[in-house]
C-alpha cells in the first residue's frame, strides 16, 4: 500500500484504485447485488475523500476505507430494510472475482442469519482474508476480542450445522 504524508486527489485515487476489487467484494458481501454494492462504494468513496483530512496515519488508508465501507453497508441495509431474495444471491457479476465458496448460496444464507457484527467478523476474516490484527483495527476492538468472538462464532455455526443435518 502507498504511504503519503499529505494526500492529493491523485494519491487518494491511486490508493483507492489499488484496492478497488477488494473494496467491491467487501460491499458485495453485504448486499449480494452489484448495483447496491456499487452504490455503497460510491458513497464510501465520497465520504472517504471528504474526510481524508481525518486520516491520521496515511499508511492505514486501506483499514480506514474498509471501515467506511462497512459502516456505509450497515447504513445502506438499515435504510433499505429489505431481505435479499434468492434470485439476488445467484446474481454474480464476475465469477472470476470470487472464490468458489463465495459463489455458494448456502454461505450467503448462513451469513444473512447472523447479526451484523458477527457477519462482519466472518466477511473480514474469510472473504477478505484479513488478519485478526487488521480486523481489530478496522472495528476498533482488541485483537483478543476479535479472536474470541470469531472462534465462538465458528463453533456456534458448526453446532447449528451439525444439528441441522
Share of the chain above pLDDT 90, in %: 16
Q: What is the pLDDT of residue 13?
A: 85
Length of the chain: 165
Per-residue pLDDT tens digits for 9-44: 788 888 888 899 999 988 988 888 889 999 999 999
User: 48-78 pLDDT, tens per residue?
Assistant: 988 888 887 778 888 889 999 999 998 888 8
φ/ψ of residue 90, rounded to 5: -80, -10
SS3 158: helix
| CA pair distance 140, 153, nearest whole angstrom | 19
Q: What is the dihedral of CA 152, 140, 70, 24, to 10 degrees?
A: -90
**Within 10 A of 25 (CB to CB), how many other CB atoms are there?**
17
- Is the pLDDT confidence value at 95 over 90? no
Amino acid at each position: 500500500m502507498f504511504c503519503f504524508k499529505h494526500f492529493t486527489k491523485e494519491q487518494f485515487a491511486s490508493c483507492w484504485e489499488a484496492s478497488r476489487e477488494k473494496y467491491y467484494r467487501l460491499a458485495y458481501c453485504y448486499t449480494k447485488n452489484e448495483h447496491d454494492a456499487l452504490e455503497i462504494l460510491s458513497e464510501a468513496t465520497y465520504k472517504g475523500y471528504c474526510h481524508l483530512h481525518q486520516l491520521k496515519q496515511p499508511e492505514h488508508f486501506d483499514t480506514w476505507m474498509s471501515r467506511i465501507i462497512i459502516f456505509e453497508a450497515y447504513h445502506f441495509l438499515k435504510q433499505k430494510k429489505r431481505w435479499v431474495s434468492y434470485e439476488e444471491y445467484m446474481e454474480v457479476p464476475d465469477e472470476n472475482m470470487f472464490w468458489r465458496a463465495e459463489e455458494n448460496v448456502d454461505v450467503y444464507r448462513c451469513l444473512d442469519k447472523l447479526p451484523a457484527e458477527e457477519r462482519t467478523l466472518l466477511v473480514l476474516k474469510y472473504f477478505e482474508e484479513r488478519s485478526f490484527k487488521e480486523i481489530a483495527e478496522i472495528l476498533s476492538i482488541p485483537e483478543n476480542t476479535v479472536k474470541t468472538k470469531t472462534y465462538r462464532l465458528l463453533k456456534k455455526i458448526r453446532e447449528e450445522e451439525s444439528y441441522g443435518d
